[in-house]
């Protein structure tokens, strides 16, 4: 794996798709915010670091709890959006794998769906451990396997059946590596955390139309949109039709509800 190529691919993507990500995924990924903050015991005056803050959903919620929260992201576009959405929040540009903070600076650290986008997740976990105080708690979320996080399953299945899943993108860690609880626990222990645990967060992606899933994956993601962009035009049309047909089977009332559960992994620093 070429670390620089993968990091540049991710960074360039998030510099571009930040608005579409917020529009397509904001309500979905924010469903994990409450459970994540509860898991790391965020309350009044707790010093929290939100790593890869994105549009700042966690910071906004932590601020409402009275926490002293800082959001960090490597994308200046994401940081600018977070500052606009939560003017009272504290945000900075930085690298999750080399945090610009001294040892023991925070009571709690979290990463909400960030671990999927790092060249070396284990370095980010080690850095989270370093900047935590003794007895501080760390939590991160990741998507469940694609057969459970159905939105991803629908898209990947359509590409496998009608296109080419093996396209020339900069290689990175497996996207669903942390879907497995055993891997979450192994990584937490390796980073120095104790008493690791993993829980499942039920989540639902509420889509306005059958085309919304295809559009969200095309415009609001980095790796998945890269896979879709690499398809031949005629294949992409068939893939889009297959996705729309499958999403249509998830109708609920006036919209469509797709299961998108997440894994929440938690550890503590001695």
* Residue 32 half-sphere exposure toward CB, CA atoms < 13 A: 28
CA–CA distance from 184 to each of 121, 143, 258 (Å)? 11, 12, 25
Give the mean pLDDT of 137-160: 98
Give the mean pLDDT of 52-61: 98
pLDDT at 1: 67
pLDDT band for position 266 (50/70/90)? very high
For 86-119, letters b (16+ CB in 10 Å) and e give beebebeebbbbebebeeebbbbbbbbbbbbbbb
How does pLDDT run across 15-36, given as a tens digit for each residue?
999 999 999 999 999 999 999 9
């Amino acid at each position: 794996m070429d670390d620089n190529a993968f990091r540049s691919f991710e960074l360039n993507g998030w510099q571009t798709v930040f608005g579409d990500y917020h529009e397509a995924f904001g309500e979905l990924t924010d469903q994990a915010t409450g459970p994540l903050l509860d898991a790391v015991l965020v309350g009044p005056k707790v010093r929290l670091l939100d790593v890869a803050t994105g549009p700042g959903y966690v910071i906004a919620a932590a601020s409402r709890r009275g926490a002293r929260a800082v959001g960090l992201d490597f994308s200046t576009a994401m940081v600018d959006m977070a500052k606009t959405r939560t003017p009272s929040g504290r945000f900075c540009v930085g690298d999750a794998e080399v945090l610009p903070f001294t040892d023991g600076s925070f009571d709690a650290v979290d990463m909400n769906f960030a671990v999927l986008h790092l060249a070396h997740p284990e370095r980010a976990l080690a850095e989270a451990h370093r900047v935590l105080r003794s007895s501080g708690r760390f939590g991160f979320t990741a998507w469940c396997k694609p057969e459970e996080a159905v939105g991803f399953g629908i898209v990947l299945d359509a590409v496998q059946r009608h296109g080419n899943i093996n396209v020339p993108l900069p290689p990175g860690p497996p996207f669903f590596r942390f879907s497995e609880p055993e891997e979450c626990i192994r990584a937490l222990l390796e980073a120095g955390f104790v008493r690791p645990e993993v829980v499942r967060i039920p989540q639902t992606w509420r889509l306005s139309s059958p085309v919304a899933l295809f559009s969200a994956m095309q415009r609001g993601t980095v790796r998945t949109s890269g896979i879709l962009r690499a398809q031949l035009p005629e294949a992409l049309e068939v893939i889009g039709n297959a996705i729309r047909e499958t999403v249509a089977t998830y109708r609920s009332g006036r919209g469509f509800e797709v299961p998108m559960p997440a894994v929440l992994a938690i550890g503590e620093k001695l």
